[in-house]
Structure 1
Amino acid sequence: MAITFDMDADSLIHIAKPEDSHDRLYPISMGRYGPLVALPRILDTYRRLGLKQSFFIPGWCLETYPDVAEAILKDGHEIGHHGYLHEDPIKTRGEQREWFERTLDAHLRICGQKPRGYRAPVYNITHEVVDLMIEHGIRYDSSMMADDIPYRLDTEGGSLYEMPVHWGTDDWPPFAHYDEIGYMMPVRGPSQGLAGFWEEFEAQYDAGGFFMLIIHPFLTGRLARWKQVEAWIAKTQETKDVWFATLDEIADHMDHLQKDGIWTPSVERLPYYDGPILGDTT
């Protein structure tokens, strides 16, 4: 199982409101809470519990908060590709090579290595991005939702693993309230908001499957929420037979299982469709 983090910091407001984001102080401060307050708290928990996990960080955030990236890597965690400024690949079709490779450059300069995994901002992955991942040797994606357990994506250009996400294990629906980007939803209390995650875990545990949380530090890294997450992790370590791992380690495990003939992943072949289902609607 993996508890993964999308450390977007204040990139969300800068991509959403580029004309005056610098003067929108409340969303900037809310985003900065993630790297400056929540991340040290999260890393402290993981040091005490002996866990290594995966963080997905936009390239601009690596450049803006390099000390945070250094602290994450120093503790042995993984940092994956998460766009440059949390740009939506659907809204930036045809521009993704520039964004994608700019982020790779940030990884090389700040982290000293290329990322091995990718998660699309807003999960809006496209064929263009899949092709870029394969071209640049990214070994896994974590943006799609076609299975309960990891599987393989095949294209004409190559293949990569998929570590599937879904909104039921993402902390955005229960905890995000972000009127500056048009997301106006009631915020649930910590116990109510987290309860659904634990139900998802129990179902996957009973099935012997794969469980992954997708957490934003500026949301679930808040004191009351993280206190409950930390307690749940500690209890799970004590009472369940689970393996907490980075997604890169899980990809290694998948390699070994296939090499030893123990397991073969299901395969999703891309593209699903060759063009618009309704044809040219113009």
Structure 2
Amino acid sequence: MSTTWNEGAAAVALLTFDVDAETPVLAEGHRYAEHAMTMSHQAYGPDVGVPRLLDLLDDLQVPATFFVPGWVAEQRPGLAERIQDRGHEVAHHSYSHRAPTHMAPAEEREDFERALRVFADQDIEIHGHRAAMWAATWNTATLVAEHGLVYDSSLMGDDRPYALDTGAGRIVELPVHWSLDDWQQYAFLPEPAIGSVIESPRKALELWKAELDAMRHYGCLFNLTSHPFLTGRPSRALALRALIEHAQDRGDVRFARCVDVALAAGADATLATRPVQRRPADPAVYPDW
């Protein structure tokens, strides 16, 4: 039985942008709100990077998905609407950008639902979710299903879409990977230590082109995660343009929004389904040091 989620393409490309703004820094401690340089470094994302990237996407006529923390949408009224009005998807990226793995279950639920309330107040329709820092817990997928969302994009169990049986409903997982994240290429701040690398965009472009071409060979989902405060910088934006043009020149890569791939995958009878299942870890065998 042939797959249908890819609609005949050799690979499907998702361009996803995590519009984190100040939230990853504030998640390290509210004291960073007093650091003007650090706050301006993060504000560059929504203030400069997002408009630049929206223009780039318009120019190349490709759709994208923007994962926006609820706090960012709340602090910048109209931002999510402007993204949506340009034909792109806005998706759930927590409220606070605190890692769910650092929260109690009740805290994770409140943070998740608080973001949904922000988007509802702004009339932004939400179909999918990505955990802050990709740090999903064993409760995360159940929250996604329970609140009627179609997909999650936080896990790394495959390089093609797969289904998760959460017990609260079936959702589609659109898997990610560190090799397709601009954070590992560009993230640098002296304090807090969110990263310590500033790679050449040529290196990142070479890496992502190689991965895309290999995924075309294997029929995969190319799920690129970018951050406007990183990839929105001039030379990096041009590297992203070159990557998109490389994919377009191949002639067999389909660009899509996450929700469109998730809906197609959910209707694909060949899609693998996996339980949301925690493996036992005996503390006598695996102690916390």
1:186 corresponds to: 197
Task: Give the secondary-structure state (helix, strand or coil) at the position aligned to 2:164.
Answer: strand
- CA drift of 1:184 comes to 4.5
- CA drift of 1:178 comes to 2.4
For residues 133-155 of structure 1, the C-alpha deviation after alignment (integer angstroms, 9 at most, x for no partner) is: 11101110000001110001113
For residues 13-65 of structure 1, the C-alpha deviation after alignment (integer angstroms, 9 at most, x for no partner) is: 222121x2221111111111111111111111111222221110100000112
Change (3 A) 1:225 1:150: same
User: RCO (CA 8 Å, sep 6+): is it higher in 1 or 2?
Assistant: 2
Q: Does 1:133 align with 2:130?
A: no
User: Which whole-Å CA distance do the structure 1 matches of 2:72 and 2:277 have between them?
Assistant: 31
Q: Does 1:268 align with 2:279?
A: no
Change (3 A) 1:50 1:186: closer
- CA drift of 1:213 comes to 0.5
2:249 corresponds to: 238
Q: Percent identity?
A: 35
Contact kept, 8 Å, 1:104 with 1:114, in 2: the verdict is no
User: Which whole-Å CA distance do the structure 2 matches of 1:175 and 1:184 have between them?
Assistant: 8
- CA drift of 1:107 comes to 0.8
1:210 corresponds to: 221
User: Which whole-Å CA distance do the structure 2 matches of 1:117 and 1:74 have between them?
Assistant: 18
For residues 72-123 of structure 1, the C-alpha deviation after alignment (integer angstroms, 9 at most, x for no partner) is: 011111111111110110101221111111000011112x144110000111
RMSD: 1.7
Q: Does 1:277 align with 2:282?
A: yes
Change (3 A) 1:216 1:203: same
User: Which whole-Å CA distance do the structure 1 matches of 2:104 and 2:51 have between them?
Assistant: 35
Q: How high is the TM-score relative to the length of structure 1?
A: 0.92
Task: Give the secondary-structure state (helix, strand or coil) at the position aligned to 2:255.
Answer: coil
Contact kept, 8 Å, 1:57 with 1:79, in 2: the verdict is yes
Contact kept, 8 Å, 2:26 with 2:32, in 1: the verdict is yes
User: Which whole-Å CA distance do the structure 2 matches of 1:236 and 1:90 have between them?
Assistant: 35
Change (3 A) 1:230 1:210: same
Task: Give the secondary-structure state (helix, strand or coil) at the position aligned to 2:247.
Answer: helix
User: Which whole-Å CA distance do the structure 2 matches of 1:70 and 1:29 have between them?
Assistant: 23
User: Which whole-Å CA distance do the structure 2 matches of 1:123 and 1:255 have between them?
Assistant: 22
Q: 1:23 aligns with which of 34, 56, 64?
A: 34
Number of residues of Structure 1 aligned to a counterpart in Structure 2: 274
User: Which whole-Å CA distance do the structure 1 matches of 2:244 and 2:203 have between them?
Assistant: 17
- CA drift of 1:281 comes to 6.1
Change (3 A) 1:22 1:246: same
User: Which whole-Å CA distance do the structure 1 matches of 2:263 and 2:228 have between them?
Assistant: 26
Task: Give the secondary-structure state (helix, strand or coil) at the position aligned to 2:254.
Answer: coil
5 Å-filtered alignment, 1:1-282, equals: 1-18=13-30, 20-94=31-105, 95-110=107-122, 112-258=123-269, 264-273=270-279, 275-278=280-283
Structure 2 gaps of 5+ residues are 1-12
